[in-house]
C-alpha cells in the first residue's frame, strides 16, 4: 500500500510525558491516499486532535509520541525534529483549526500573515508574495481582497477569518490539508460555505483532506472514507457508503443513531438517541474493550480481552461482536 499512500500512520501511541501507564492514543493506524478525503469522527476527547497534531509534530509540551511511524509519501516524517518538520508544515501539509476567532495574530494584517507562510517556504520577493496573497484571498471567497489584505483580524467575522486560515493553509499548495473541526465554531450557513470552499480547493489542487469532525452530516457530504475513534483507539474504518449503510461497531451505530439524517431513521419515526455514559478518563480506562461500560452488546469476553482490529467484509473493526445491532438482538 505504501507506494500509493500519501500518509501512513502506523500504530501511533501518545502518552503524557513521564506516564507510561496512561495513553491518549493507543496504537492508531490509518492512511490517506492522494486526493481523497478521510473523515475522522468520534466524541470530544477521543484523541482526534492529538492524532493530527502528532502528524504535524506539534503535540503539546506535556505529551510525547511513544511509538509508531508516520510516513509521508512512503518516507518517515521527522516529527521529533522541529527544524526538519518546519519544511513540511505549511508547505506539504496545511492545517486548519477549530477556533477561527483566535487563529489570527491580532497585531498583524491579514496580508502579512498569509504572506508569511509563502515567504517562509518559497524564494520570492515580498511584492510577488503580495500578489499571490490577493489572488489567494479571492480564491477563498473573501470580498474585495485588495482591501481586506491590509485589514487587521478583528475587523473580520468568524467565517471570514476561517477563510483566511484556509488561505494560509493552501498558500503553498500542500499535498494534504488537515482540517480539525473547521466549522464547529461557525454558523450553519457559514459552515456549508466553508465546506464548499474546501471541496472546491480539493478539486482544483488535487489535495487530500483529513476532516476531523463529530458532525456525521458533514462526513456524508464530504468524505470518501471514515475512521471512527474512541478513547484513543481506532474502532472502525470503512468507505463512507459502507459505514452509513452497515456500521459494524456498536459505537459507530450509537453515533449514527444520535445524528439527525434527513430521510433515513427519521422517516421511521425513531427519536434521536444519545449514547448513554461518557468517554472514560484517560487515567482510568475500563478493562478489556474501552467501550464496554457504554456498550449494549458487551459480554464477559469484552471485559477481559481487548478486541483486536480485524477485517469484516469491507470494514475494519475492533469489536468482539461486530455486525448489525438488530442481528445480535
Partner 1 sequence: MSYLGKRLVHVVLTVLGIAIINFFLLQLAPGDAADVLAGEAGTADPEYLANLRREFGLDQPMLHQLWAFLQRLFMFDFGYSYRHNMPVSTLIFERIPATLILVGSSIAMALVFGILLGVVAARTAGRLPDKLISLASLLFYATPPFWIGLMMIVVFSVKLGWTPTGGMSDIISNKTGLAYVLDVMRHLALPAITQAVFYLAIYTRLVRAGMLEVLSLEYIRVARAKGISENRIAYHHALRNAIFPLITVAGTNLGAFLGGAVLTETVFSWPGVGRLMFDAMFQRDLNLLLSILVLSSIFVVLVNLAVDLLYALINPTVELR
For the chain, what's the residue count?
Answer: 329
Q: Which of 8, 14, 50, 97 contacts partner 1 by CB under 8 A?
A: 97
Query: Which of the choices Mg ion, ligand SF4, partner 1, none does residue 49 contact, using the CB cut-off of 5 to 8 A by kind?
Result: Mg ion
Report CA-CA distances (Å) from 230 to 167, 270, 282, 297: 31, 25, 11, 16
Q: How far apart are the C-alpha atoms of 41 and 146, rounded to whole Å?
A: 38
Within the chain, what is the greatest distance between any pair of CA atoms? 67
Contact call for residue 278 and ligand ADP (CB under 6 A) = no
> Interface residues for partner 1 in 139-158 (CB under 8 A)?
152, 154
Which positions from 51 through 80 interact with ligand ADP, judged by CB under 6 A?
Answer: 60, 62-63
Rounded to the nearest 10°, the torsion over CA 298, 301, 306, 312 is -70
Q: Which residues in the 205-264 window bind partner 1 by CB under 8 A?
A: none
CB of 156 to partner 1, least distance (A): 12
The C-alpha atoms of residue 44 and residue 172 are separated, in whole angstroms, by 31
- The region of 4-12, 41-49, 140-148, 185-193 touching ligand ADP under the rule CB under 6 A is 41-49
Q: Which three cell numbers stand for residue 300?
A: 464477559
- The one among 99, 128, 224, 314 contacting partner 1 by CB under 8 A: 99
Cβ-contact 96, 104 below 8 angstroms: no
From the CB of 266, what's the least distance to ligand SF4, in Å? 26
Judged by beta carbon distances under 5 to 8 A according to partner kind, the member of ligand SF4, ligand ADP, Mg ion, none in contact with residue 132 is: none
The residues, ordered by sequence, that sit 6+ positions from 263 with a Cβ below 8 Å of its Cβ are none
Those residues whose C-beta lies under 8 Å from the C-beta of residue 38, and which sit 6 or more positions away, are 30, 32, 208, 209, 210, 211, 223, 224, 225, 226, 227
Q: Which is nearer to ligand SF4, 94 or 254 (CB)?
A: 254
Q: Does 7 bind ligand ADP (CB under 6 A)?
A: no
Q: Which is nearer to ligand ADP, 99 or 314 (CB)?
A: 99
- Pick 35 or 45: Cβ nearer ligand ADP: 45
Selected range binding ligand ADP among 30-38, 40-48, 64-72, 238-246, rule: CB under 6 A: 40-48
312 conformational bin, left if phi > 0, alpha if psi -120 to 50, beta if neither: beta
Binders of partner 1 among residues 45 to 64 (CB under 8 A) are: 56, 58
Would you give the DSSP letter of residue 270?
A: P
Q: In what order do the strands lie in the sheet with 225-230?
A: 93-96, 176-180, 208-212, 37-41, 225-230, 233-239, 315-317, 310-312
> 114 to each of 28, 119, 148, 161, 318, how far by Cα in Å?
33, 9, 12, 11, 42
Site string for partner 1, 102-121 (x = CB under 8 A): xxxxxxx-------xx--xx
Beta strands, E only, 192-301: 208-212, 225-230, 233-239
- Residue ranges binding ligand SF4 (CB under 6 A): 250, 289, 291-292, 295, 297-298, 302, 307, 319-321
| Window 169-208: contact mask with partner 1 (x via CB under 8 A) | x---------------------------------------
Cβ 175 vs Cβ 93: under 8 Å = yes
Q: Interface with ligand ADP by CB under 6 A: which residues?
A: 16, 24, 42, 44-50, 60, 62-63, 282
User: Where on the chain is the footprint of partner 1 (CB under 8 A)?
Assistant: 56, 58, 82, 85-91, 94-95, 97, 99, 102-108, 116-117, 120-121, 152, 154, 165, 168-169
Amino acid at each position: 500500500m505504501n507506494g500509493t499512500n500519501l500518509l501512513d500512520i502506523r500504530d501511533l501511541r501518545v502518552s503524557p510525558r513521564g506516564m507510561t501507564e496512561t495513553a491518549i492514543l493507543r496504537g492508531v493506524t490509518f492512511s490517506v491516499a492522494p486526493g481523497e478525503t478521510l473523515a475522522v469522527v468520534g466524541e470530544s476527547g477521543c484523541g482526534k486532535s492529538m492524532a493530527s497534531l502528532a502528524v504535524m509534530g506539534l503535540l503539546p509540551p506535556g505529551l510525547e509520541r511513544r511509538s509508531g511511524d508516520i510516513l509521508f509519501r512512503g518516507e518517515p516524517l521527522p516529527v521529533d525534529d522541529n527544524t526538519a518538520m518546519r519544511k513540511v508544515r505549511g508547505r506539504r501539509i496545511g492545517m486548519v483549526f477549530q477556533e477561527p476567532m483566535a487563529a489570527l495574530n491580532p497585531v498583524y494584517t491579514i496580508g502579512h500573515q498569509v504572506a508569511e507562510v509563502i515567504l517562509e517556504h518559497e524564494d520570492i520577493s515580498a511584492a510577488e508574495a503580495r500578489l499571490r496573497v490577493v489572488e489567494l484571498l479571492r480564491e477563498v471567497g473573501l470580498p474585495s481582497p485588495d482591501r481586506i489584505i491590509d485589514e487587521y483580524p478583528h475587523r473580520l467575522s468568524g467565517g471570514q477569518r476561517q477563510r483566511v486560515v484556509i488561505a494560509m493553509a493552501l498558500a503553498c499548495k500542500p499535498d494534504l490539508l488537515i482540517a480539525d473541526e473547521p466549522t464547529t465554531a461557525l454558523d450553519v450557513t457559514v459552515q456549508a460555505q466553508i465546506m464548499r470552499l474546501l471541496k472546491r480547493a480539493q478539486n482544483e489542487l488535487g489535495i487530500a483532506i483529513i476532516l476531523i469532525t463529530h458532525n456525521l452530516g458533514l462526513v456524508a457530504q464530504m468524505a470518501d472514507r471514515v475512521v471512527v475513534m474512541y478513547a484513543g483507539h481506532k474502532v472502525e474504518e470503512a468507505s463512507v457508503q459502507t459505514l452509513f449503510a452497515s456500521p459494524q461497531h456498536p459505537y459507530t451505530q450509537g453515533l449514527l443513531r444520535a445524528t439527525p439524517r434527513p430521510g433515513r431513521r427519521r422517516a421511521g419515526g425513531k427519536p434521536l438517541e444519545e449514547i448513554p455514559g461518557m468517554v472514560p478518563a484517560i487515567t482510568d480506562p475500563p478493562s478489556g474493550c474501552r467501550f464496554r461500560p457504554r456498550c449494549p452488546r458487551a459480554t464477559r469476553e469484552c471485559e477481559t480481552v481487548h478486541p483486536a482490529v480485524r477485517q469484516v467484509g469491507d470494514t475494519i473493526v475492533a469489536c468482539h461482536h461486530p455486525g448489525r445491532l438488530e442481528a445480535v438482538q
